[in-house]
Chains A and B, each alone.
Chain A
Amino acid sequence: MNERIKPIVMPKWGLSMSEGKVTGWLKPAGSPVAPGDEIVEVETDKIAGVVEAHETGTLRRVIGEPDTVYPVKALIGVIADDEVPDAEIDAYVAEYATQAAAEAAEEEAPRTHFIDTPAGRLRYAKRGEGAENVILIHGFGGDLDNWLFNIDALAEAATVYALDLPGHGQSDKKLADPSLKGLSAALLGFMDALDIARAHLVGHSMGGAVAARTALDAPGRVASVTLIGSAGLGDEINAGYTDGFVQASSRRELKPVLEQLFHDPDTVTRQLVDDLLKYKRLDGVTEALTALSGALFAGGRQADQVAQALAATDVPALVIFGASDKVIPPDHAQAIGTRATVEVIEDAGHMVQMEKAARVNELILAHIA
């Protein structure tokens, strides 16, 4: 292939994504682009997102037509320098289609696994073969798919695990100990079961507090912590979100609750709401979430604080918040103080790792390097 020409392809966001729809181009053909620039909006049946440029150059071809569905890895645009002749680009586009088809045939979608632990049967995904271990820990009511924009990028540098905490996703729904300590114990049990001696813990929201708690209680097992929109760094939390999530039983009730998670509420698709409803309907989930929410966030107050204790350790800490986080106030990012690397990202809400995946991935990769 022509190395002067860089493809923009339909991304694969998450394990189950096989196709996506181009909903609109944010840059017209002919625009200069630089890494991080938002180029094209894509919608999957689960979530809407933006494809960012990874190269510097000119957007030479806009191939993906708005409102049209393309398979994952299909060529939807081309970036190249201005001096690359049109003929070379046309040849590249023509050749790309045949090559993509051949590649698609050999790749089978990776599946998730289950492991029996003292906290019950837990589901997890494992990607990559790097020397360092990274464990991704989702937040309250979440699951391993919350990392769909991160797991593959991080897997290029590490062995990445993403688990469903007890009571969440497809893991067992019973919670032996619905507390931060209980979740931390479950995480350590998970690490034992998979013979993970030591790992970088990346936690989102409640998962951040779990990561921090684990670093405090078992410092030998934790190489670093990355706390994203994390709980445990301050007092307040939006009870309208946590209670609303527990109580919502219909699409109509749940959608406005989920919209609080994102900077752009349109990110919440009907399928995302339906998937969460399917989870919430499972026997035991409401009980698990009610127990956790009561133990951790009763009355809009966070029961467990980890910032001060963490500040007193030498565990490397990265703190990332979305500037428009509506669940946990973004000023909690400063709680650990100067010892932590802190980044508050504009135009992102509580799900900053999804909304600004490229930047978050970059920060994590630098942090664990």
Chain B
Amino acid sequence: MARMISYKQAINEALDLEMRRDPTVILLGEDIVGGAGAPGEMDAWGGVLGVTKGLHAKHGNRLMDTPLSESAYIGAAIGAAACGMRPVAELMFLDFMGVCFDQIFNQAAKFKYMFGGKAKTPVVIRAMVGAGFRAAAQHSQMLTPLFTHIPGLKVVCPSNAYDAKGLLIQAIRDDDPVIFCEHKALYGSEADVPEESYAIPFGEANIVRDGRDVTLVGYGLTVPRALTAADTLARSGVSAEVIDLRTLSPIDWDTVIESVENTGRLVVIDEANPRCSIATDVAAYVAQNAFGALKAAPQMVTAPHTPVPFSPVLEDLYIPSADAIVAAVHKTTGPVKSAA
């Protein structure tokens, strides 16, 4: 049965259920148990924000704290995946990809193709993404576009607890390497989540709100922001459809195109920096494939082309806001508020 649990609990539950189901699922990461070898308690942290808390008690040495050596343990997870395990490695902050990217994009992503289809690498790399924690430039980035660029990787970024559980279960069962992006600002958000296991297929966007006048496309934190914007827009007579991409690679072009064909207007919201982003990708695809349906130029609401700032006042300006989304929609509708 379903009950309200948080995004963080949903991830913990997905890991627990899959470890129970499949003995080849193992977890590696810095402090995912917390306290390994230290004189105090074991499972002291359960991950820096407690996402894996309690799993060590249930699954013992199938959770392994790692030294602070991202290349070594992310690579070990990938190597173990190529040897029949289903490791879930936690990179803590996706920003840390810089110290282990070779293992992800030159090794995991390439094995299947380079080896003529004979390899499979069912590894999941979980990492926190996104701004809003006053964590500044090296712990807050939305680096999704860097991964969607790489053939061979799948990229997932859930916006709510229900999706977080089902997408992570799919990621673990998936035979390809998956970058699983957890928005840290959503860890506390709650949704109705079944207790049972379920897998949400990749490449299927979710229409979280039906609308007629404009299509808002987002993922992760930008989905609740888009919903807030849609509420505001409804009061001025603009009916906004909100699409949650859920997975960025593969990406569900059909749902986006169908929606734009109905609404004629597109606003893409992306917390990534603007150049070569998910926003530019979606806008370009729609322009190329649904040009005739467009009543106005597609608009993009993104972070600016800057690092993530520290000072709260600056960081709040950095993250795409509901107001910015409303303003972008008004650019597509023109001076007439009601497009109905």
A residues within 8 Å of B by Cβ? Answer: 114, 123, 170, 173, 249-252, 270, 274, 278, 281-284
- The stretch of B50-58, B89-97, B194-202 that contacts the partner chain: B194-202
| Residue pair B201, A283 in contact (C-beta under 8 Å) | no
| Residue pair B207, A282 in contact (C-beta under 8 Å) | no
Which chain B residues (271-301) contact chain A, with CB distance < 8 Å?
Answer: none
- The residues of B that contact A274 with a CB separation of less than 8 Å are 206
| Residue pair A252, B198 in contact (C-beta under 8 Å) | no
B residues within 8 Å of A by Cβ? Answer: 1-2, 162, 166, 194, 196-201, 204, 206-207, 210, 254-255
13 additional A-B pairs beyond A252-B254, A270-B207, beta carbons within 8 Å, are: A170-B1, A249-B201, A250-B201, A251-B207, A251-B255, A252-B255, A278-B162, A278-B194, A278-B198, A281-B201, A282-B198, A283-B196, A284-B196
A285: nearest chain-B partner, CB-CB? B198
- The residues of A that contact B162 with a CB separation of less than 8 Å are 278
B258: nearest chain-A partner, CB-CB? A252
Shortest distance between the CB of A47 and any CB in chain B (Å): 14
| Residue pair A250, B194 in contact (C-beta under 8 Å) | no
Indicate whether A281 sits within 8 Å of B199 (C-beta atoms), given known contacts A114-B1, A123-B1.
yes
Indicate whether A173 sits within 8 Å of B196 (C-beta atoms), given known contacts A114-B1, A252-B254, A270-B210.
yes
Indicate whether A251 sits within 8 Å of B196 (C-beta atoms), given known contacts A114-B1, A170-B2, A270-B210.
no
Shortest distance between the CB of A237 and any CB in chain B (Å): 27
Shortest distance between the CB of B167 and any CB in chain A (Å): 11
| Residue pair B207, A283 in contact (C-beta under 8 Å) | no
- The residues of B that contact A283 with a CB separation of less than 8 Å are 196-199
- The residues of A that contact B196 with a CB separation of less than 8 Å are 173, 282-284
- The residues of B that contact A284 with a CB separation of less than 8 Å are 196
A-B contact pairs, 15 of them (CB 8 A): A114-B1, A170-B1, A170-B2, A173-B196, A249-B201, A251-B204, A251-B207, A252-B254, A270-B207, A270-B210, A281-B166, A281-B198, A281-B201, A283-B199, A284-B196
A114: nearest chain-B partner, CB-CB? B1
Shortest distance between the CB of B338 and any CB in chain A (Å): 12
Shortest distance between the CB of A34 and any CB in chain B (Å): 34
- The residues of B that contact A173 with a CB separation of less than 8 Å are 196
A278 to B254, CA, bound (A): 20
A130 to B108, CA, bound (A): 64
- The residues of A that contact B2 with a CB separation of less than 8 Å are 170
| Residue pair B204, A282 in contact (C-beta under 8 Å) | no
Shortest distance between the CB of B46 and any CB in chain A (Å): 25
| Residue pair A282, B194 in contact (C-beta under 8 Å) | yes
A170 to B204, CA, bound (A): 24
A249 to B2, CA, bound (A): 21
A173: nearest chain-B partner, CB-CB? B196
- The residues of B that contact A270 with a CB separation of less than 8 Å are 207, 210
- The residues of B that contact A123 with a CB separation of less than 8 Å are 1
A283 to B196, CA, bound (A): 7
- The residues of A that contact B198 with a CB separation of less than 8 Å are 278, 281-283
Shortest distance between the CB of B220 and any CB in chain A (Å): 20
A112: nearest chain-B partner, CB-CB? B1
What 7 A-B pairs have minimum CB-CB distances, sorted nearest first? A281-B198, A283-B197, A282-B198, A170-B1, A282-B196, A250-B204, A270-B207
Shortest distance between the CB of B143 and any CB in chain A (Å): 28
A271: nearest chain-B partner, CB-CB? B210
- The residues of B that contact A278 with a CB separation of less than 8 Å are 162, 194, 198
B200: nearest chain-A partner, CB-CB? A281
B210: nearest chain-A partner, CB-CB? A270
A251: nearest chain-B partner, CB-CB? B204
Shortest distance between the CB of B303 and any CB in chain A (Å): 30
A282 to B166, CA, bound (A): 9
Shortest distance between the CB of B160 and any CB in chain A (Å): 13
Indicate whether A282 sits within 8 Å of B254 (C-beta atoms), given known contacts A250-B204, A251-B204.
no
B209: nearest chain-A partner, CB-CB? A270
A284 to B198, CA, bound (A): 9
A249 to B201, CA, bound (A): 8
B21: nearest chain-A partner, CB-CB? A283
B241: nearest chain-A partner, CB-CB? A270
- The residues of A that contact B206 with a CB separation of less than 8 Å are 274
A69: nearest chain-B partner, CB-CB? B234
- The residues of B that contact A282 with a CB separation of less than 8 Å are 194, 196-198
- The residues of A that contact B1 with a CB separation of less than 8 Å are 114, 123, 170
A251 to B252, CA, bound (A): 12
A274 to B246, CA, bound (A): 14
A165 to B204, CA, bound (A): 29
- The residues of A that contact B166 with a CB separation of less than 8 Å are 281
Most buried by B among A170, A270, A281: A281
- The residues of A that contact B204 with a CB separation of less than 8 Å are 250-251
Shortest distance between the CB of B233 and any CB in chain A (Å): 14
- The residues of A that contact B254 with a CB separation of less than 8 Å are 252
- The residues of B that contact A114 with a CB separation of less than 8 Å are 1
Shortest distance between the CB of A255 and any CB in chain B (Å): 11
- The residues of A that contact B200 with a CB separation of less than 8 Å are 281
A250: nearest chain-B partner, CB-CB? B204
A281 to B166, CA, bound (A): 9
A270 to B242, CA, bound (A): 13
Shortest distance between the CB of A80 and any CB in chain B (Å): 33
- The residues of A that contact B201 with a CB separation of less than 8 Å are 249-250, 281
A278 to B204, CA, bound (A): 13
Shortest distance between the CB of B144 and any CB in chain A (Å): 22
A250 to B199, CA, bound (A): 12
- The residues of A that contact B207 with a CB separation of less than 8 Å are 251, 270
A353 to B160, CA, bound (A): 34
B340: nearest chain-A partner, CB-CB? A67
Shortest distance between the CB of A61 and any CB in chain B (Å): 25
A271 to B183, CA, bound (A): 25
B196: nearest chain-A partner, CB-CB? A282
Shortest distance between the CB of A83 and any CB in chain B (Å): 39
A123 to B195, CA, bound (A): 14
A280: nearest chain-B partner, CB-CB? B198
A274: nearest chain-B partner, CB-CB? B206
Shortest distance between the CB of A329 and any CB in chain B (Å): 33
A281 to B199, CA, bound (A): 6
- The residues of A that contact B194 with a CB separation of less than 8 Å are 170, 278, 282
A284: nearest chain-B partner, CB-CB? B196
- The residues of A that contact B255 with a CB separation of less than 8 Å are 251-252
A170 to B198, CA, bound (A): 13
